[in-house]
Structure 1
Amino acid sequence: MTIQAARQQELSGVPAASADQQATADPLAAAPSEPAHPPRLLFLDGLRLLAALLVVAHHLVRGPWDVRPEEHFGMLATLSKYGWLGVNLFFLISGFVICMSSWGRGLGRFAVSRIVRLFPAYWLGVILTTGVLAMWPVLRGPLPPPESLVNLTMLQSGLGVTDQDWSYWSLGTELRFYLLFAIVVWLGVTYRRVVYFCALWTVVAAFSSSWHEGLLDNLIVADSAPYFVAGTALYLVHRFGPNLLLWGLVGANWVIALYRLEKYPGVVTLHLNWWPVAAVVTLFWAVMIAVALGAFRRVSGRWLVTAGALTYPLYLIHQAIGQTLIRGLHRHAPAWLLLVGVIALLLGVSWLIHRYVERPLGRRLKRGLDSSLAAARNA
């Protein structure tokens, strides 16, 4: 073996040995390679918007109306009880997408991509939500100024501070996933390391229930871990092809997710039967397996790009602002008209946030962070 070939194998996380020895000693090292940046799966953009709309329906259909939502919306109100599961679908997709987008990136580029993706729209979401709650406190008032300012960091859950919009709890969960996956990125993302990461997180999250270690439990987000792990493993299925080990990771986390549903806050507080909730989660798994196997590879359309662009801003502004509008206007407009109008307004504002905040501010933020990283490397 040449020195150059040995160096390439070292960078890929594979010991410098012959191909036959690698395949015999460690089957994980024999995974085929592909381009660092595979084509974008537009179907996932549409699926992300669907997940967001499920959450929007849950919070607004079951929002602060003057009567029980079933009296206004009938079957839609009954179905919207399960809309909170859209967050679980987000986590599945996130595992898939983060693994895909981090391949071939160093830790600095990974951190920059996450900051640029998350913060521009989030900052405006916090400001808009704070302003609406302050100017029209029919739902509730905004948090005190120190807590509102802390919300701008997205670290409020770690500091024990209430989220300005209740939906922001999931952002803290996402950040912890990024923090854990950053370890893999720091080492260098390879097939083998991602498999080890998935297996280790599965085991640690499963045993955390009996450890009663507050710090560890908070970091590994045991209830959400099965979704992130399964999504990550399914990206490996998509990129390298299926095998028994990957299906084992996907299946084990599906079983753990179903088990944890019985005590999930949404199931307990809404008094939901376990079976339909488990059926919805199983459907999510089935759809993501189909994505991993290439069933939706040819799905395309400009509208899917737009759908993906609307998803994050919509999630950021929908709950507190949407429920404020419903509480303030529900006596002055028919329920269906108000619901559709509020959702349409939120979608329109989401597009404006993407077009005039996310894109321009994201570009400037990326240039500044890239420059900062270059200065740090050259120091």
Structure 2
Amino acid sequence: MPLQNASNRQYYFGLDLIRFASACLVLLFHLGYSTWQPESGARDIVRGAYAIPEASLFWFGGMGVQIFFVISGFVIANSAQGATPYRFFRSRALRLYPAAWICATVSLITLLAFTERPVLNLLWRYLHSITLFPLSPWIEGVYWTLAAEIIFYALMFLLIAARRLDRLETFSNLMGGISIAFIALVACNRNGLVQIEHLEGFRKTVGRYLPLWYGVFFSLGMNLWLFTRRRLSKASAVYTVALFLTCCFQIYLAFHGTDIEEGISDDGSRQAWQVPVFVFIVAMAGLFASTHWPAVDRSIPLFAREPLRRLGLVTYPLYLIHFSLGVILIKGLIATGVSPMLAFVASSVLVFLLCLYIATQLEPALRQRFGHVLDRTERRFGLR
């Protein structure tokens, strides 16, 4: 989502680039690696029709989600400043719902036309998706991250409603501290230092929706925003380093050990946990440089700024729509005689072009109409 500084309206082009790169990581992970693995949620679509060994180098791409959560913490801390509870709700609703309505509809049509999944089940998943109901099932598995985002938004909404945004630093540090404790508990449980039955099951369900398993990433983003605004205390600046290190440790836990993240096969590649950690460090360095040193963004040539802005707009629909549509496109192209790797590349490009159309044509029009509805509601009930 585009980000502007509340005080000087500065636009952070670097965030758009990092956000888009993160979405591409997730797309490459799903279409190039995880969807043709035996444990994939797309196995009923693929049915062993293809494999793309050349694209296995994207096995770590799922960690784009962690980068998203840091950016979200930064963006929401910024957008909450000076906002009333209703205005904060309005901005989040306008950002999330129009694209979700369009993308969930495309996914529904795709799955109805090209799979044998039960119609009633798909409609139930579709209903969950267009309402952004924070409990599964959804039309696409990637919607789980929206559930985590919405819970984070709800906590920020309560902070705004309580008129305690002046305690954002305390709120962020508390969320981060609880998440650090949970991650440490998971690590101790895996190494036999404690024995808590069903902890891994809790981590994979409730723990990933509540800011427990991923809470440190939201907190890191909020603290980076506070630091950029020179509102972070020295003690919290040191604490932010601990948040960053814990984020790296969480990624290590996700990609190393006996219980790895869903969608990654036990093929030895998971031992290279240094790769996702390094990618995360590079992304955070880029985020810090773009937001803390305005000269970095100002150095971007004028001709490149509008394309970067468009890439930022594409990110959300690209993330929501790529999974089933991309898999079906790959399978269809391979059926016509195209090589798996070429089908993978062509499908990725086609999905991107569709998302570019959604982000620049369909979504703005729908968002404008939805905004009018919210404006009328605001006037009718005297909301501010």
* 1:230 maps onto 2:220 in alignment: yes
* 1:353 maps onto 2:353 in alignment: no
Contact between 1:234 and 1:246, CA under 8 Å: does it hold in 2? no
Contact between 2:169 and 2:232, CA under 8 Å: does it hold in 1? no
* 1:201 maps onto 2:175 in alignment: yes
1:145 matched residue in structure 2: 123
How has the CA–CA distance of structure 1 residues 340 and 284 changed in structure 2, closer, same or farther, with 3 Å as cutoff?
same
Give the letter aligned to residue 323 of structure 1: V
RMSD across aligned positions (CA): 2.8
Which of 260, 266, 291 in structure 1 is aligned with 2:261? 266
How do 1:89-104 residues align onto structure 2 when only pairs under 5 Å count? 89-104=67-82
How do 1:1-379 residues align onto structure 2 when only pairs under 5 Å count? 36=7, 38-62=9-33, 63-64=35-36, 66=49, 68-70=51-53, 73=54, 77-137=55-115, 143-155=121-133, 157-158=134-135, 161-188=136-163, 190=165, 192-208=166-182, 217=207, 220-240=210-230, 244-264=234-254, 265-266=260-261, 269-271=264-266, 272-273=270-271, 274-294=273-293, 296-298=296-298, 299=300, 301-332=305-336, 333-377=338-382
Deviation at 1:337, TM superposition (A): 2.6
Deviation at 1:53, TM superposition (A): 0.7
Contact between 1:261 and 1:267, CA under 8 Å: does it hold in 2? no
Contact between 1:231 and 1:288, CA under 8 Å: does it hold in 2? no
Query: Aligned partners of 2:383 and 2:80: how far apart in 1?
Result: 24
Deviation at 1:234, TM superposition (A): 0.6
Query: Aligned partners of 2:115 and 2:58: how far apart in 1?
Result: 25
Q: Percent identity?
A: 24
Deviation at 1:35, TM superposition (A): 5.5
How has the CA–CA distance of structure 1 residues 286 and 189 changed in structure 2, closer, same or farther, with 3 Å as cutoff?
farther
How has the CA–CA distance of structure 1 residues 225 and 112 changed in structure 2, closer, same or farther, with 3 Å as cutoff?
same
Give the letter aligned to residue 168 of structure 1: Y
Structure index of larger Rg: 1
Bigger Cα displacement from structure 2, 57-66 vs 114-123: 57-66
Query: Aligned partners of 2:213 and 2:8: how far apart in 1?
Result: 30
Deviation at 1:153, TM superposition (A): 1.0
Contact between 2:17 and 2:311, CA under 8 Å: does it hold in 1? yes
Contact between 1:36 and 1:103, CA under 8 Å: does it hold in 2? no
Contact between 1:261 and 1:278, CA under 8 Å: does it hold in 2? yes
Contact between 1:37 and 1:101, CA under 8 Å: does it hold in 2? no
How has the CA–CA distance of structure 1 residues 329 and 314 changed in structure 2, closer, same or farther, with 3 Å as cutoff?
same
Could you report, residue by residue, the CA deviation over 1:45-64 in whole angstroms, capped at 9, with x for unpaired residues?
A: 12111111111111111143
Query: Aligned partners of 2:74 and 2:158: how far apart in 1?
Result: 17
Bigger Cα displacement from structure 2, 270-279 vs 40-49: 270-279
Q: TM-score, normalised by structure 2?
A: 0.79
Could you report, residue by residue, the CA deviation over 1:234-270 in whole angstroms, capped at 9, with x for unpaired residues?
A: 1112122765334223212122223333442438944
Query: Aligned partners of 1:188 and 1:199: how far apart in 2?
Result: 18
Deviation at 1:133, TM superposition (A): 0.8
Unaligned 5+ runs, structure 2: 37-47, 186-195, 255-259
For the residue of structure 1 that corresponds to 2:296, the secondary structure is coil
Bigger Cα displacement from structure 2, 218-227 vs 353-362: 218-227
For the residue of structure 2 that corresponds to 1:38, the secondary structure is coil
For the residue of structure 2 that corresponds to 1:162, the secondary structure is coil
Deviation at 1:68, TM superposition (A): 4.1
Query: Aligned partners of 1:217 and 1:52: how far apart in 2?
Result: 23
Contact between 2:86 and 2:383, CA under 8 Å: does it hold in 1? no
Query: Aligned partners of 1:106 and 1:326: how far apart in 2?
Result: 46
Query: Aligned partners of 1:52 and 1:217: how far apart in 2?
Result: 23
Question: How many residue pairs are counted as aligned between the two chains?
Answer: 336
